[in-house]
């Protein structure tokens, strides 16, 4: 009943401001996650790591992300979206900074796993939170634009790596990753709790007060009789996890789990190893880092094109198209011979892969009802993180055993599986409210 008024509110500065505020911790998630990739060649040398162990360190964050995504999605359905988000931000920023004080590969592994717990929780929570405030007509665009903050974080990490690591070392680089803990103040002051969550928990009076404040900011007047119709109920804390595999949601769960596995494997098998790939092609590490920085800017127009298309032609065709072109671009990178080809194909991968990610984040935030939205999103994201755990290690093994070309062809094939999954199992959610979809 109350959530219906969120759909009637006109698009306003409030919605864009909310996008910006939620985008800040998401930007820093991307930044902190990429830190290990850019510092990896230096860490590998300091701790004298093999290719396989280097890949395991690169993937260690995903052990934590698996735990974090699965647990914090559920906890957000119990504690609330805002409180859960604040806790996850605290974890990932604090332990990114502590990674600077690693004394061997084991301590680095432990710090990165705990960092991953915070990162794994923050990623789904940002999208779950924002999806519950934006009207259906604009939801796809806003969630893809939220995902575009990932590109800004990626660029910031690449820029800091290029400026800090050669001059001050990788330890100072990780220390700079703890600074985003200051965003906790912003989250506390400016984020309201989700009206949909409060209503689902029968906290009607609190939900009405929050909704009235949002209405004031958007210029929308609530009916005078609305508050009198509300009766505070007894808050229930039971989250029906089993419902993910009920007849209504089983197909959606299979679809989202396969999609997340393919996306995480493909994306991180490429980008966590990108510097190493270029080093294998004969480029010095500083040059490879410069190319990584230059090509990262291609992510931004990829997001914007995806945001423009998603509410026009739908989630399903946009995602399928972008995944196929990501696979094609990966094959092109495998055949690259000169610097121009390397930069061109990595730019194409960044453009289409990140545009696809925007749709994945949107899709997963839409396909479950409020009572299990956090649990469903977290479960899909958590399953995908298994690919993040094994993917970098698999890439390291393939590089050692079969070479660069084979590693990239396998990655391209995984993107194509994701496209097939979307085309066959995906549902269309364009223009529908969250209640209509669920």
Judge whether residue 168 has pLDDT over 90: no
The predicted model scores a pTM of 0.85
- Has residue 158 got a pLDDT over 60? yes
Contacts 24+ apart (CB under 8 A), 182-185: 183/24, 183/25, 183/28, 183/89, 183/93, 184/86, 184/89, 184/90
Q: 3-class DSSP state for residue 408? A: helix
* 12 pLDDT more than 60: yes
pLDDT tier at 385 (50, 70, 90 boundaries)?
Answer: confident
By C-alpha distance, which of 212, 193, 190 is closest to 201? 193
* Top-ranked range on mean pLDDT: pick from 43-47, 209-213, 245-249, 406-410: 406-410
User: Is position 299 within any domain?
Assistant: yes
Averaged over 42-66, what is the pLDDT? 80
Which has the closest alpha carbon to 244: 429, 88, 383? 383
Average pLDDT over residues 229-242: 58
- Residue 125 domain-assigned? yes
How far are the Cα atoms of 198, 263, 304, 369, 381 from residue 140, in angstroms, in the given order?
23, 19, 12, 17, 19
* Distance from the first to the final alpha carbon of the chain: 15
**Average pLDDT, stretch 12-37?**
89
Query: From the CB of residue 375, how many other CB atoms can be counted at a distance below 10 Å?
Result: 25
The DSSP string of 172-232 is HHHHHTTGGGGHHHHHHHHPPPPHHHHHHTT-HHHHHHHHHHHHHHHT-PPPTTTGGG---
Per-residue model confidence as pLDDT tens digits over 321-372: 999 999 999 999 999 989 999 999 999 999 999 999 999 999 898 988 888 8
Looking at the domain assignment, is residue 394 inside a domain? yes
Specify the CATH number for the domain of residue 321.
1.20.1250.20
Residue 270 lies in a domain: yes
The answer as to whether 236 is a domain residue is no
Nearest in space to 5 (alpha carbons), one of 213, 189, 157, 150: 213
Residue 250 has pLDDT above 80, yes or no: yes
Which CB contacts under 8 angstroms, 24+ apart, belong to 299-302?
299/148, 299/150, 299/151, 299/154, 299/155, 299/350, 299/351, 299/354, 300/148, 300/151, 300/152, 301/351, 302/151, 302/350, 302/351, 302/352, 302/353, 302/354, 302/355
Q: How much of the chain exceeds pLDDT 90, in percent?
A: 41
Q: Highest mean pLDDT range out of 45-59, 254-268, 271-285, 388-402? A: 254-268
Average pLDDT for residues 181-197, to the nearest whole number?
Answer: 87
pLDDT, position 240: 66
Contact yes or no for 214/103 (Cβ under 8 A):
no
- pLDDT over 80 at 85, yes or no: yes
Q: Examine residue 238 and state whether it is found in any structural domain, yes or no.
A: no
- The reply to whether 237 falls in a domain is no
Residue 256 pLDDT: 96
Q: What is the mean pLDDT of residues 84-99?
A: 91
Whether residue 2 has pLDDT greater than 90: no
Q: How confident is the model at residue 320 (pLDDT cuts 50, 70, 90)?
A: very high
Which of 32-46, 189-203, 361-375 is predicted least confidently? Answer: 32-46
190: containing domain: 3-231+243-437
Question: Which of 57-66, 142-151, 159-168, 171-180: highest mean pLDDT?
Answer: 142-151
Q: Is the pLDDT of residue 229 over 60?
A: no
In a domain, 185, yes or no: yes
Count of structural domains within the chain: 1
User: How far is the C-alpha of 133 from the C-alpha of 153, rounded, in Å?
Assistant: 24
Q: What is the mean pLDDT of the chain?
A: 87
Residue 203 — very low, low, confident or very high, per pLDDT cuts 50/70/90?
Answer: confident
pLDDT of residue 18: 94
pLDDT over 70 at 230, yes or no: no
| Whether the predicted pLDDT of 169 surpasses 70 | yes
- Give me the pLDDT at residue 238, please: 59
């Amino acid at each position: 009943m109350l959530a219906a008024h969120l759909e009637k509110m006109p698009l306003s500065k409030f919605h864009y401001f909310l996008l910006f505020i939620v985008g800040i911790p998401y930007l820093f998630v991307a930044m902190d996650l990429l830190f290990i990739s850019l510092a990896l060649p230096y860490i590998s040398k300091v701790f004298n790591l093999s290719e396989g162990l280097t890949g395991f360190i690169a993937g260690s964050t995903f052990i934590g992300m698996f735990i974090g995504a699965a647990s914090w999605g559920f906890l957000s359905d119990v504690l609330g979206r805002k409180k859960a988000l604040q806790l996850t931000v605290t974890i990932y920023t604090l332990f990114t900074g502590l990674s600077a004080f690693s004394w061997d590969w084991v301590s680095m592994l432990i710090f990165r796993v705990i960092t991953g717990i915070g990162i794994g929780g923050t990623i789904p929570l940002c999208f779950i939170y924002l999806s519950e405030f934006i009207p259906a007509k604009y939801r796809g665009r806003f969630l893809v634009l939220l995902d575009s903050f990932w590109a800004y974080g990626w660029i910031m990490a690449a820029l800091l790596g290029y400026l800090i690591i050669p001059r001050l070392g990788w330890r100072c680089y990780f220390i700079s990753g703890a600074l985003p803990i200051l965003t906790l103040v912003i989250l506390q002051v400016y984020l309201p709790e989700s009206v949909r969550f409060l209503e689902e928990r029968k906290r009607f009076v609190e939900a009405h007060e929050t909704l009235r404040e949002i209405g004031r900011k958007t210029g929308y007047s609530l009916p005078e009789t609305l508050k009198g119709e509300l009766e505070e109920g007894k808050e229930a804390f039971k989250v029906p996890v089993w419902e993910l595999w009920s007849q209504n949601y089983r197909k959606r769960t299979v679809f989202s789990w396969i999609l997340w596995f393919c996306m995480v494997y493909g994306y991180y098998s490429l980008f966590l190893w990108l510097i190493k790939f270029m080093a294998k092609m004969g480029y010095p590490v500083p040059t490879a880092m410069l190319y990584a920085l230059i090509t990262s800017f291609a992510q931004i127009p990829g997001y914007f094109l995806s945001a423009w298309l998603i509410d026009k032609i739908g989630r399903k065709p946009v995602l399928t198209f972008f995944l196929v072109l990501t696979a094609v671009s990966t094959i092109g990178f495998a055949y690259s011979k000169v610097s121009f080809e390397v930069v061109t194909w990595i730019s194409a991968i960044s453009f289409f892969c990140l545009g696809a990610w925007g749709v994945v984040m949107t899709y997963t935030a839409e396909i479950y009802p409020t009572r299990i939205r956090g649990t469903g999103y977290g479960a899909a994201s958590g399953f995908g993180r298994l690919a993040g755990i094994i993917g970098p290690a698999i890439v390291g093994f393939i590089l050692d055993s079969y070479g660069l070309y084979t590693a990239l062809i396998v990655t391209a094939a995984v993107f194509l599986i994701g496209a097939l999954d979307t085309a066959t199992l995906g549902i269309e959610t364009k223009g529908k409210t969250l209640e209509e979809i669920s």
